Amino acid sequence: MPRAGLSTTAVVDAALAVVDEHGAEALTLAAVAQRTGVATPSLYKHVAGLGELRTLLGSRVLEDMAEYFTRAVLGRGGEDAVRSLMHAYRAYVKEHPARYAAAPLDPLHDPALASAGGKLMEVVLGALRAYDLSPSDTIHAARCMRAVAHGFASLEAGGGFGLPEDLDHTYDQLIAAVLGTLPRH
């Protein structure tokens, strides 16, 4: 019988805490079992194994990002929405670097992650809606936004910007460059 209070959600919560505290590479069933106070085999009542746990964790992170980004762009349109989304992306990575590192890179092509990945993609596409781009151009714009935000935020989280110049200024220049690729409306 499963331990009272232990559920798949609680197992994923514990996995998220392990990742937040020790990094994605520290995620093991033993670490999660220790955190939840059960023997490792007891986790198999809630997850099929480490692979499924990583998938559930990835889905949770994508859902979290979608909610975070939605709050940032709600009620905004055009340049304001794009700028807010890109700032939210960077802020999320700064607040949760290990969690972000555990997020899957291509969730839309994994059936177990497609729903969560689709929610995140909808936020990004929504931020671009005011530009009235073709479907293909919208995807190109979304990719450019993601490449800039992911690249910058990942480098920043990893300590890749050691020079003293203001990072906010650099990031604002990158956002301006992305906005410059979008049609004026």
Q: How do residues 120-153 score in pLDDT, each as one tens digit? A: 999 999 999 999 999 999 999 999 999 999 999 9
Residue 4 banded pLDDT, cuts 50, 70, 90: low
Specify the fold of 1-47. Arc Repressor Mutant, subunit A (1.10.10)
Of 63-67, 83-87, 92-96, 181-185, the range with the lowest mean pLDDT is 181-185
CB 142 within 8 A of CB 124: yes
pLDDT (mean) for 15-40 = 97
- Could you give the CA distance from residue 19 to residue 36 in angstroms, rounded to a whole number? 14
Domain positions in the chain: 1-47, 56-180
**Going by C-beta distance under 8 Å and a sequence separation of 6 or more, which residues neighbour residue 133?**
141, 182, 183
Let me know if domain 56-180 sits in CATH 1.10.357.10: yes
- pTM, full prediction: 0.93
